[in-house]
Structure 1
Amino acid sequence: MPKNKYSLIRYRVINRCLRERRYVTLQELREACEKALDISPLSDRTIEGDISAMRHDSGLGYFAPIKRDRINRVYYYEDPDYSIDTIPLNQDEIESLVFAAKLLEQFKEIEIFKTFTDSVQKLVDVLNIYRISGMDTVRNFIEFETVESNKGTERLPELINALKSRTVLKLRYKSFTSKKISSHIIHPYHLKEYRNRWFLIGYNEEFKAIRTYGLERIISIDTEESKKFIDIGFDTKKYYENVIGISVIDEEPQNIQIAFSEMQAQYVISQPLHHSQKRLNNIKDKIVFEYFLIPNYEFYAQVLSWGAEVEVLSPKSMRDSIKQYFDSILFKYNH
């Protein structure tokens, strides 16, 4: 019988309690599960049902030797060495783990993940022992998008430590649009990955505003121990709510209507461009979608990449900008 994730977490908690404390009351098991799930209250009947499932459910396959001392009203493992963590994996579980390990393999060249490279490889090697004779594992017939090693990822450990310790940083930085290296005092708030590039988001003392820095463009990082960390209550979700990508510009979001070809529409239906995406109506052989967002660089780049498959209907300002862009391309190819 399939179990939901909360049930599976409770089984792990119950197993841990019985392993660590040996004799445990029903109340102690219930309170431990409530704490782990941050859910209160759970009923005694729920915990009793979990214990019964761990003992008898053939779908789970635990067949846990849980006994109850009716006099002292405690539960315990009849075999003190038993643990559900030692249950052999079935083939579906093995293939799922290999799938996950393959996913992790693509990050092995990024500095912060190198610590886990040996562990991932060991996991893959051990799991391959269990492969059914004559059958290929998912490692051989599934390929993930390759993540190339990007300059700047070696700074991730240092920046993560700065985020955790709330340390003020001095960055020497060279943007793609400047020939000079500039210095910035930054109060780091967040690290974000977008299209295989990493970015640091923080409060810039000079501009008194949030700024974004590509890690591959950081020349050096120094700590400013004498400076007090400034916390402005940065909310990541709110900050990026009205944009796609990484750049946030100081503009108000607006309603944008785009007509897609029937074929291109299927792509944005299956993978929406933005959470505000809303399908409106059909115009001849085109499907119209509306977005409520700030048209930043990434948004324009995405729309332009669709070429003749889309047409911006409104607002007029954006429609004119797109037209201007294509006019400039046409001019280059005609002269």
Structure 2
Amino acid sequence: MKKDFYLTRYALIIKKLESAPSTYAQIEEYLLNSFEFQDAEIKSYSMRTLQRDIREISNLFNLTIHNKKRRDNRYYIDSRPMMEVDEYNQKLLESFQVSNALNLHPDFSDFIFFESRKPTGLEHFYDLFFAIRNKRIVLFEHYNYKNKKMTSRKVHPLALKESKDRWYLIAVDTKDKTLKSFGLDRINHLSVTPQKFREKYKYNFREHFKNAFGVMNLTEQNPQKIVLKCSRHQGEYIRSFPLHQSQKEVKETPDDIYFEFFLHPTYDFRQEILSYGKEVKVMEPESLIREIRQSLSDSLQAYSED
């Protein structure tokens, strides 16, 4: 068994057991018939390897796999991690699968094409992650695109949030004691100081961001019901790749699909709606309808002035 193939095995085993409980023979057949095993020219998979993989899956992904439940020799996933850990696991598995495909085939550049736009600032990610876990005060310079100014910041880092392939630091600015977000791509001269902050903040970011779309004003706490009417064509895409975890399909006609959301109508969400043009229409609330209508009017006016 190839030593660098273990992550792919873990991903395949989890995928198999998530679809249905399976015996060792069924797991073995599934693995050996997978394209991953065929490409790697792996011809066998032993019970001993399965037992070792199960232990490692438990350690790495916090997933418990058992068998012999009520005289049943099938393996099954006995416990699932918390939602936030499960999201992390999903990202990790996706990364492993892509990475393994690239490592197995050096000629991947002839077949796999990545987005050419790359986010910047990721070189700060682990330093900030370390600072958050250890409650270290952080210093940096932050650039504001709107006023085109660089300002010095001293913050208490609390969390990291991803939005549309960009990462943001969530931190309390010591200057005004306000919770703010800072784009990692706009951070320069980062310094994680030896000094720890003693404040015990009680923010529940899991709850805070549950109703957020993209990056939001962190002082906002007014999620509301939003209903979108989507053309059949666009609705199928949104159905298969939901815009937000609160998305619910509430109505369907031969021409349209209606979706309901419960979230903050942030700037990012308004921009997402506008990006669909005539394919998506806001039905409620009235305040969001007015904002979208004003944005469309402003865009038309900008073209008229030319």
- Bin the TM-score by the shorter chain: 0.5 to 0.7
Taking the TM superposition and a 5 Å limit, the aligned residue runs for 1:192-231 are 192-231=161-200
Q: How far apart, CA to CA, are the structure 1 residues paired with 2:292 and 2:54?
A: 60
1:286-328: CA deviation from partner (whole Å, max 9, x where unpaired) = 2221111101111011000000111111111110111111112
Q: CA deviation at 1:262?
A: 0.8
Q: How far apart, CA to CA, are the structure 2 residues paired with 1:236 and 1:3?
A: 39
Task: Give the ranges of 4+ consecutive aligned residues of structure 1 lying more than 6 Å apart after TM superposition.
Answer: 7-10, 13-16, 36-40, 99-102
Letter in 2 for 1:301: Q
Q: When the two structures are superposed, what TM-score results if normalisation uses the length of structure 1?
A: 0.60
1:104 and 2:74 correspond: no
Structure 1 residues 211 and 184: alpha-carbon distance in aligned structure 2, compared to 1, 3 A threshold: same
Q: How far apart, CA to CA, are the structure 2 residues paired with 1:102 and 1:13?
A: 16
Structure 1 residues 104 and 198: alpha-carbon distance in aligned structure 2, compared to 1, 3 A threshold: farther
2:241 to 255, 271, 279: 271
Q: CA deviation at 1:49?
A: 9.3
1:214-254: CA deviation from partner (whole Å, max 9, x where unpaired) = 11211222344345243314433212100111324414001
2:222 to 235, 252, 256: 252
SS at match of 2:114: coil
Taking the TM superposition and a 5 Å limit, the aligned residue runs for 1:110-259 are 124=103, 127=104, 139=108, 142-146=111-115, 148-249=117-218, 250-259=220-229
Letter in 1 for 2:286: K
Q: How far apart, CA to CA, are the structure 1 residues paired with 2:53 and 2:303?
A: 67
1:11 to 21, 44, 51: 51
Letter in 2 for 1:103: V
Q: How far apart, CA to CA, are the structure 1 residues paired with 2:200 and 2:260?
A: 36
Contact 1:168 1:229 in 2 (8 A): no
1:200-219: CA deviation from partner (whole Å, max 9, x where unpaired) = 11222333332111112112
Structure 1 residues 14 and 299: alpha-carbon distance in aligned structure 2, compared to 1, 3 A threshold: closer
2:256 to 286, 298, 318: 286
1:86-122: CA deviation from partner (whole Å, max 9, x where unpaired) = xxxxxxxxxxxxx9678239xxxxxxxxxxxxxx98x
Letter in 2 for 1:304: L
> How much is the aligned-residue C-alpha RMSD, in angstroms?
4.0
Identity of aligned residues (%): 26
Q: CA deviation at 1:141?
A: 7.1
Structure 1 residues 9 and 230: alpha-carbon distance in aligned structure 2, compared to 1, 3 A threshold: farther
Q: How far apart, CA to CA, are the structure 2 residues paired with 1:309 and 1:170?
A: 45
Structure 1 residues 142 and 243: alpha-carbon distance in aligned structure 2, compared to 1, 3 A threshold: farther
SS at match of 1:2: helix
Q: How far apart, CA to CA, are the structure 2 residues paired with 1:267 and 1:38?
A: 31
Q: CA deviation at 1:329?
A: 1.7
Letter in 1 for 2:99: L
Instruction: Name the counterpart of 2:26.
Output: 2
1:314 and 2:284 correspond: yes
Larger Rg: 1
SS at match of 1:187: strand
Q: How far apart, CA to CA, are the structure 1 residues paired with 2:276 and 2:167?
A: 25
Unaligned ranges ≥5, structure 1? 17-32, 54-98, 106-119, 129-136
Unaligned ranges ≥5, structure 2? 1-24, 29-46, 75-93
Contact 1:258 1:289 in 2 (8 A): yes
Bigger share in strand: 2
Contact 1:261 1:286 in 2 (8 A): yes
Q: CA deviation at 1:195?
A: 2.4
Contact 2:156 2:197 in 1 (8 A): no
Structure 1 residues 286 and 149: alpha-carbon distance in aligned structure 2, compared to 1, 3 A threshold: closer
1:242-270: CA deviation from partner (whole Å, max 9, x where unpaired) = 01113244140011111111111101110
Contact 1:187 1:229 in 2 (8 A): no
